[in-house]
Structure 1
């Protein structure tokens, strides 16, 4: 009974979203979207690179923190010696200006930090948002009022200003990636998840099978786990897939502002911070982390949209990629032509 179709009120829009009907059906719908499959392959490759960073750097024979002053031209202000930033057999993507640290090693280890912070923040946002939303939806009027007002306060909080203030007062001894993930998770993201979970809980609570479970003596906790959480799966998974790219962008922005991950720990946003003065003398130092960020965020956005459409096949994709739009345009223009041809045939017969 918890697999029935349920109406979901998302943040700002109303949509009917079917409950999860099985992994096989979901995979079949996702396979029909070529762009989502390509994005999933790109994301899987990025995750694999991040996990295998120690192995990849060992194959190259480098690490992300060792300085190579012999590869820097001090007479030119610290520009790497050689073409394309010192690319060679020992340094696959060249070296950093001024320090001579290996760019490939810093990029793959930076993927670990950026993806790890984004995924950890997403997990905390989803858990906290579901807990607050379900508690507000199942609680009495006062519980709902208090939790809803707390959620509204966090919705209105500006992420960057709050993050800058909190990161500035926390001691440097606290692990910086963990701190950045916690601040991103607690300041933003979870509040929208909580609103969505509350709306879904209020909708499900009025259905017969949920009311029957409560009247049969089930505890609130058991009702939430057995009857409500399956109905929350589709919208929460969809929103979680779209939270990851926004969290990556937030981590990169904080590191770019100098309050995120601190050196010598590599991060794509941190690499962009020190690359802004080298875009003419050593453009690869700016282009490589910027391209990595762009590809990651773009692939995750496409994948998140594909997951949303696979879970809700009646919703049209927000990102029209490939030849689908051309096929639809041809189909729309084909109808008037057919009608015109049929009308001419009638005239000829008469």
Structure 2
């Protein structure tokens, strides 16, 4: 609620305003009831830890993602790794890459850094652009609203992959590729969040605490910063949590098509591009990056859905249903059964008493 409105009500009542419960505490209480979201959060935390500690882990293994090991591949068979399971050994925990002999564990760990960093950077650009455009459209005059809304519609209607492919193809290769991929994804895909922010801002503008702030003489910027942005936090965080796995998939698709992250920088999509001809001779070279990509996208999607449910106050009554907790469902069923039994017992007691009363009345009438 607006600070001006809270102060006015407190002054009129002669008491100090009592702060409500912590929003972060409520969010955590709702989130921890969702077991799938907690498992997904643990998986995401593990992936982030592997990405951050990639130099330490590869140093512990004694390898790096760019060094070639031609002695570990069989050139007579076209470069197939020597040894069982793709050359897995104490020096190479997940085997080596066909033809080059580069360490797969090191490339997967460093590929996680690239995929997560590109996705988070692209999501940040999308959120910043979407919030600025959406709030400006909702608070501006009719012409500003029409101009920004039509721009958002055009961005939403544009085919993302085609636009990204075109822009990546014309940019010089000297530009850092991960940064370029993140910027292009962010600048091409901000339209949807801008429309969401605009619609939510138009709703918040009509609330009493925003009107009280406006009557108090606050500027438009101060109202947007102090009153509107806190109200926009839940939908923006919800949509951002769902955009991260989508951006990871987009980066992998661009790298798979050969216009994303370029060698020697490791990327999961780039590894899939090289592995599509080795799926029979060295299946682990295809399965490992594909599995890592699948697990990451799935975990982030489940976590994003859990964040959406935890941030939506209207979903509080649906949390017990969504958790799959048999104990809570059984308790609710037993409570319903007990209430039915009690109601039947009460009815069974009331009906005989009424019958007895009616017989007494009839006997009195006969006697009279």
Name the TM-score, length of structure 2 as normaliser: 0.83
How far did residue 207 of structure 1 move?
A: 1.4
Distance 1:331 1:295 in 2: 35
Counterpart residue number, 1:111: 112
How far did residue 217 of structure 1 move?
A: 2.3
Distance 1:78 1:322 in 2: 49
Counterpart residue number, 2:198: 198
Relative distance call for 1:334 and 1:85 in structure 2 (3 A) is farther
How far did residue 177 of structure 1 move?
A: 0.2
Distance 1:28 1:344 in 2: 39
What is the RMSD computed on CA atoms of the aligned residues?
2.7
Relative distance call for 1:191 and 1:72 in structure 2 (3 A) is same
Structure 1 contact 20–231 (Cα < 8 Å) conserved:
no
Distance 2:129 2:291 in 1: 32
Relative distance call for 1:156 and 1:330 in structure 2 (3 A) is farther
What are the Cα deviations for residues 87-146 of structure 1, in whole angstroms up to 9, with x where unaligned? 001000000000100000000000000000000001111111000000000000000000
Structure 2 contact 2–212 (Cα < 8 Å) conserved:
no
How far did residue 277 of structure 1 move?
A: 0.8
Relative distance call for 1:326 and 1:299 in structure 2 (3 A) is farther
Distance 2:165 2:108 in 1: 25
Counterpart residue number, 2:233: 233
How far did residue 219 of structure 1 move?
A: 1.7
How far did residue 330 of structure 1 move?
A: 9.9
What are the Cα deviations for residues 14-61 of structure 1, in whole angstroms up to 9, with x where unaligned? xxxxx9951111111111111111111111111111011111110011
How far did residue 194 of structure 1 move?
A: 0.7
Relative distance call for 1:334 and 1:80 in structure 2 (3 A) is farther
Counterpart residue number, 1:207: 207
Q: Are residues 1:74 and 2:75 paired?
A: yes
Structure 1 contact 79–97 (Cα < 8 Å) conserved:
yes
Counterpart residue number, 2:25: 24
Name the TM-score, length of structure 1 as normaliser: 0.88
How far did residue 214 of structure 1 move?
A: 2.2
| SS of residue matched to 1:314 | helix
Distance 1:145 1:325 in 2: 51
Q: Aligned runs of 1:51-90 on 2, under 5 Å?
A: 51-90=52-91
Q: Are residues 1:149 and 2:150 paired?
A: yes
Poorly superposed stretches of 4+, deviation over 2 Å? 214-217, 313-318, 320-347
Counterpart residue number, 1:250: 250
Distance 2:332 2:274 in 1: 51
Alignment coverage as a number of residue pairs? 334
Counterpart residue number, 1:14: none
Structure 1 contact 256–272 (Cα < 8 Å) conserved:
yes
What are the Cα deviations for residues 257-285 of structure 1, in whole angstroms up to 9, with x where unaligned? 11100000000011001101111110000
Structure 1 contact 71–86 (Cα < 8 Å) conserved:
yes
Distance 2:235 2:245 in 1: 17
Counterpart residue number, 1:269: 269
Q: Which runs of 5+ in 1 are unaligned?
A: 5-18
Bigger mean CA offset, 195-204 vs 206-215: 206-215
Q: Which has the larger radius of gyration?
A: 2
Q: Aligned runs of 1:1-350 on 2, under 5 Å?
A: 1-2=1-2, 22-188=23-189, 190-315=190-315, 323-324=324-325
Structure 1 contact 118–248 (Cα < 8 Å) conserved:
yes
Relative distance call for 1:20 and 1:327 in structure 2 (3 A) is closer
Relative distance call for 1:73 and 1:158 in structure 2 (3 A) is same
Distance 1:338 1:301 in 2: 40
Structure 1 contact 2–230 (Cα < 8 Å) conserved:
no
What are the Cα deviations for residues 168-216 of structure 1, in whole angstroms up to 9, with x where unaligned? 000000000001001111111x211111111111111111221222233
